[in-house]
Homo-oligomer: A and B are copies of this chain.
Amino acid sequence: MRLAVLGVGLIGGSIGLAARRRLGAEVAGFDRERANLERALDLGALDRAAGSLSAALDGAEVAFCAAPVRALPDLVAGALEAAGPETAITDVGSTKRELVDGLASTPGAERFVGGHPLAGAETAGVENARGDLFEGARWYLTPTAGTGGIHYDHVQRAIAGLGARPRAIDAAVHDRLMATVSHLPQVVANALVSSAAASLGAGSEWPSDVGPSFRDATRVAGANPAIWSDIFATNREAVAGEIDAIAGRLGAAAELIRGGELDALDAWHRAAGEDRRRLLEAGRPGGPLRELRMTVSNRPGIVAEIALALGREGVNIEDMALYPAADMRTGAISLWVAGEREAERTAAILRGLGHSVALVPRGE
């Protein structure tokens, strides 16, 4: 298999290492910084350093655009233009809606699938690349109704081959989710430290062994400045909406605390503990893999449709395979999910969409 990595930093380099080691892929790299290519070659992250986008893309089954968020629209558009029809293009940016919407009417957009691995969102250079960076990590993919099934399949197989766990999700849903679990905590951390720095004048007491809650809550404050302005700017509405929501909750908490009623304070505090437990326990993996098999018409968008529907219901597709029939008008799809009950739930969802689904007996 041939893969292309366009942009060779920590993420691109780690993709190259994992693809070569785990998939035995032949990896071509392109980067505007020649030094990054040299280092990547030295580290064994690339088989060859290409002199241009098209040279890197030549014969590639999947191309990973691994540039900073602000550079992605041009890079992906350039890759779509330079690549042949057999090459699926994906990216690794932390926000997805603006990019995906912006490319919708670009010629060849059916070959693009937005992506976001939850790993190594650092700006550290290629010298920190690791072949196991994506091992077990969630990797979101954001296909649309216009995405080609075969292209989606190639991307998700490559990603699973890197050791990651792909999951399809709507781009806007992805961005709201990231606003909740990542972008808002970042904003809050920034606000906490700046508020603390303002309350504590120069030379005043500041415990060097400051409590674990402040330390934990502000660990990321100001981290990775090179990536965050891009993230905030490309996820403006979702992040600002989350900030409004938490500001409202904080106002209510201030009122509750000013009231000082012990029972009310206790109930509020305990409810937060319950919320946290529920959130962190959600979606834990649950049992041996089960295979579901279905036959579908081979029309564009069908794979994305199924993957997104399952993603919306919180089904974690551990693996997926497409088997086009000889006539290319229909095809079989196999899906693997973890656990008996999850397999039955998944089958029910798919049947609800009008598909005929067989749960393959265990051991077959």
Contact = CB atoms under 8 A, between A and B. Distances in A.
Nearest to A262: B229
Contacts of A249: 191, 194-195
Contacts of A230: 262
B314 A182 contact: no
Contact of A218 (B219, B239, B276, B358): B276
A184 interface: yes
A251 to B, nearest CB: 6
Copies assembled:
2
Nearest to A190: B272
B220 A216 contact: yes
B330 A273 contact: no
A-side binding surface: helix, strand, loop or mixed? helix
10 contacts: A137-B325, A177-B200, A193-B272, A195-B246, A199-B242, A204-B314, A216-B216, A222-B275, A225-B269, A232-B265
Interface of A: 70, 118, 122-125, 128, 130, 132, 135-138, 165, 167, 169, 173, 176-177, 180-182, 184-200, 203-226, 228-230, 232-233, 236-237, 239-240, 242-247, 249-251, 253-255, 257-258, 260-263, 265-266, 268-280, 282-285, 295, 311-314, 319, 321, 325-327, 329-330, 356, 358, 360-361, 363-364
